Amino acid sequence: MQALLNLWLRELAAGEYPPLQQVLDEVGRKAKEGGLTPEILDSLLKGA
């Protein structure tokens, strides 16, 4: 969530507004590069 917010704020400050799908794809890519797996995400979403 923080990565998404950071991307959104950067784009907002720059006056550019990319499509939401593009932002979500980039956040997903960065999450994978950072080691986030579906299992970890599921655990986080369940509050474990």
The predicted structure's pLDDT at residue 48: 63
For residues 26-45, average pLDDT: 92
C-beta of residue 3 within 8 angstroms of C-beta of residue 30: yes
Dist CA 20 CA 46 (whole Å): 25
CB proximity list for 30: less than 8 A, separation 6 or greater: 3
pTM of the predicted protein model? 0.55
How far is residue 48's CA from residue 33's CA, in Å, rounded to a whole number? 22
Amino acid at 18: P
Indicate the number of domains in the chain.
Answer: 1
Tens-place pLDDT, residues 8-32: 788 778 876 778 899 899 999 999 9
The domain of 21 spans 2-45
